[in-house]
Amino acid sequence: MTLQTAEVIVVGAGLSGLTAAWRLGWAGKDVRVLEAAPRIGGRILTRPFAAGQTVELGAGGIGERQVRLRQLVSELGLALESPPAEPAIGLQQLYGPALAGLPWLARLQLRRLWRQLEQQAALLSPEPAPEHAQAQALDRHSLADWLGARWLGRDARQLGGEMAELLFAGAPQAVSLLQALLQLRRQGGAAGLAELRLGRGQQRPAAGMQAICQGLTERLGEGLILDTPVLALEQDARGVELLTAQGRYRAGRVVLALPALLLVRMGFTPALAGWQDHGLRHLLPQSSVDAQLRYERPFWRERLPQIALPLCSAGGCLLLEQPPLQAGEGALGVRFTGAAARRFDAVQEPARRALLLDILGGLLGEPARTPLECLLQCWADEPFLRSAAVQWPAGGWSLQAASLRRPLGRVHFAGADLARRWPGSLEGAVEAGEQAAEEVLALG
């Protein structure tokens, strides 16, 4: 096999890896980017309908608080388009029908529950140090442990768990209490998190979110190599050698900008330390399915009584009305998480499409079964992602914060999963990519 060389090799052409390569390229480094998949973008996925209009089946947009990402988009010279003005939607409006079905005491308990969580979050630093005693104590418990310690009736407890799964993108038993509190602290409470999850007020480039990744590749040229999964990594005192099915690559430094779940599959020589391997295996993948649909008209507005969107149904289905692609049309975005998403993972096309339309028909009526077009993305099918996000369960932060981000010799780690402040988000991807580039540049 021919040996190809570079000063720095970045493994992974998602937003984090491309950000790291962009920063290193600006500093004059000779950079190669190896990507296992046939496309760039990772968890960003922009796809066109037949008429050519693009929609997002991955990360939907850029929020006001995503400062690093906005700076990067500005550097690329991309203009951001704002969506039509929409009223703010909080948990009370989103879960209005379900709340209305509860006794008044249960509704009061749920309001107090979210107020207590926000008050506890306000006492934390947005980025506690690894030795922070209170943070470590909170990290020993899951969000489900905290909910279980509150006096709630069965129906209120179930609805509180559904609200939590929407806000924190994971089942309460799979989410560290500390991580839930930090998300509330950083995102402006439950209202801010709801806006983020619903995509309210988010902007995106006219050509879609994929345009950001395309812009970051402009300087790479032939230095971007797709369809090249890395099988093994071996480092010595002089550099790092990567083995792929297409050949061998060698560099002075390597940045692994991969989903953390994939790091444990890679053959490291010398091997990962036991505590690193153990920490990575603590991660829990979260099933997620996204769909975008076009309809002849927004029939959900014509029903009597009308169906108010966004709508969160029991079982992890979120329906969002999208800006119509053509005047008079209707457009829906649908996201399934948890057990609902796992139902899709268990079947293949065309059964998946039939399942989607059956669920929508039950929620919205018969017209939902006949869309003009339907785009569906099951993230568990992505062989080099396996999920749209991961969660650090109880105890995960204590393992993660002090260890997994540290360089391993000449190998540096990026990827949204390992971001300090915004893990699992686009802002976190940029944060982690820039941090890895800074580490490499600091070493010359």
Inter-residue contact 336 to 312 (CB < 8 Å): no
Burial class (CB in 10 A: 0-12, 13-18, 19+), 353: middle
Which whole-number Å values give the CA distances from 370 to 89, 351, 356, 377, in the listed order?
28, 15, 11, 19
Phi, psi of 140 (to 5 degrees): -75, -10
DSSP 424: T
Measured from the Cβ of residue 386, the count of other Cβ atoms closer than 10 Å reads: 16
d(CA 20, CA 436): 7
Is 36 marked as binding a ligand?
yes
- Write the DSSP symbol of residue 278: H
327 is in an annotated binding site: no
Determine the 3-state secondary structure of 298 from DSSP: coil
- C-alpha 90/C-alpha 188 separation (Å) is 12
Task: Using DSSP, state whether 396 is helix, strand or coil.
Answer: helix
Distance CA 234, CA 227 (A): 21
Contact 50, 412 (CB under 8 A): no
Does residue 230 have a known ligand-binding role? yes
Length of the chain: 444
| Type of residue numbered 94 | L
Residues in a beta bridge with 244: 230, 247
Bridging pattern class, strands 31-34 and 267-269: unpaired
Q: How far apart are CA 131 and CA 102, in angstroms?
A: 42
Residue 166 CA to residue 161 CA, distance in Å, equals 9
For residue 2, give every residue at least 6 positions away whose Cβ sits within 8 Å of its Cβ, in sequence order, or none: 247, 248
Pairing of strands 240-244, 247-256: antiparallel
Cα-only R_g, the chain = 22
Residues whose CB falls within 8 Å of the CB of residue 17, separated by 6 or more in sequence, listed in order: 10, 11, 33, 35, 42, 255, 257, 258, 414, 415, 433
- The annotation places the binding site at 16, 35-36, 230
**Which positions make up the binding site for FAD?**
16, 35-36, 230
